């Protein structure tokens, strides 16, 4: 029986085997991009810092003249971060009003609502002392008051007229009128102007302190001296009677 010889392999060559398919690793997932201005998860909350920076700019250069870029520079952050927290300049301004300005007014007004309606001396002393306590705690208040309320075009004038002052002003004027009707107050005074007088003896001297201290070389006079001066003038001018 004939046999077939095995085919000879070419010398020097090995039998070829199918090549294994290369193993492909999954593409690395790229980290999600943060929106411009969005802080890292572990970043500290910058909101309070931005409100304080906005207030500092408002006092120094005025509300209308202050841009978000100015506030960002004051706080040492990017304008995009300011946008992240507040959206726009109006929202930031509203936050400053709600969180910084209104609490100051409330700190003066609220204690006066608890004073006995017949005790005009306590009402006057409470207003004067309350204003100077607020000035001591918030030295920026008088300058901002003059710039943004009293000055023509001030950005806070409408806020004062429509929201802050109406009810409080009427309450003070009514108490002065009632005391005058009882013969407890100088009859030559107009009750409607007395609140204006109280402000003129408190906020104005506080706002003008750098000027009158320089004019009269009066660096030795502090706000408590101004408070006592105002109370002495009012005590004699109002001619309060028990």
How confident is the model over 64-81, as pLDDT tens digits? 999 999 999 999 999 999
Could you tell me the fold of the domain covering 101-238? Tetracycline Repressor; domain 2 (1.10.357)
Determine the Cα–Cα distance for residues 168 and 174; give it in Å rounded to an integer: 10
Determine the Cα–Cα distance for residues 84 and 101; give it in Å rounded to an integer: 23
pLDDT in tens, 86-118: 999 999 999 999 999 999 999 999 999 999 988
Contacts 24+ apart (CB under 8 A), 105-112: 105/164, 107/133, 107/134, 107/137, 108/134, 109/168, 112/168, 112/172
Q: What are phi and psi of 50, to 5 degrees?
A: -70, -35
Is residue 131 over pLDDT 60?
Answer: yes
pLDDT in tens, 196-209: 999 999 999 999 99
Determine the Cα–Cα distance for residues 200 and 58; give it in Å rounded to an integer: 23
Evaluate if pTM is beyond 0.75.
yes
Q: Calculate what percentage of the chain has a pLDDT beyond 90.
A: 78
* CB distance 107 to 164 below 8 Å: no
User: Sorting pLDDT into bands at 50, 70 and 90, what band is 42?
Assistant: very low
């Amino acid at each position: 029986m004939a046999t077939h010889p095995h085919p000879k392999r070419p010398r020097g060559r090995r039998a070829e085997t199918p090549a294994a398919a290369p193993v492909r690793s999954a593409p690395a997932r790229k980290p999600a991009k943060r929106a411009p201005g969005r802080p890292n998860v572990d970043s500290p909350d910058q909101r309070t810092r931005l409100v304080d920076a906005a207030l500092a700019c408002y006092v120094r250069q005025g509300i209308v003249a202050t841009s978000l870029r100015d506030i960002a520079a004051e706080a040492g952050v990017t304008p995009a971060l300011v946008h992240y927290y507040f959206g726009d300049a109006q929202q930031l301004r509203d936050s400053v009003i709600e969180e910084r300005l209104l609490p100051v007014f409330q700190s003066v007004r609220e204690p006066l609502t608890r004073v006995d309606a017949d005790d005009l001396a306590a009402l006057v002393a409470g207003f004067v002392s309350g204003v100077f306590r607020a000035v001591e705690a918030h030295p920026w208040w008088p300058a901002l008051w003059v710039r943004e309320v009293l000055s023509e075009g001030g950005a806070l004038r409408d806020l004062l007229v429509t929201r802050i002052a109406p009810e409080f002003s009427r309450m003070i004027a009514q108490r002065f009128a009632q005391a005058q009707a009882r013969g407890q107050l100088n009859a030559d005074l107009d009750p409607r102007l007395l609140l204006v007088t109280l402000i003129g003896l408190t906020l104005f001297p506080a706002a003008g302190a750098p000027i009158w201290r320089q004019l009269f070389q009066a660096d030795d006079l502090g706000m408590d001296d101004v408070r006592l001066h105002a109370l002495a003038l009012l005590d004699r001018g109002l001619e309060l009677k028990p």
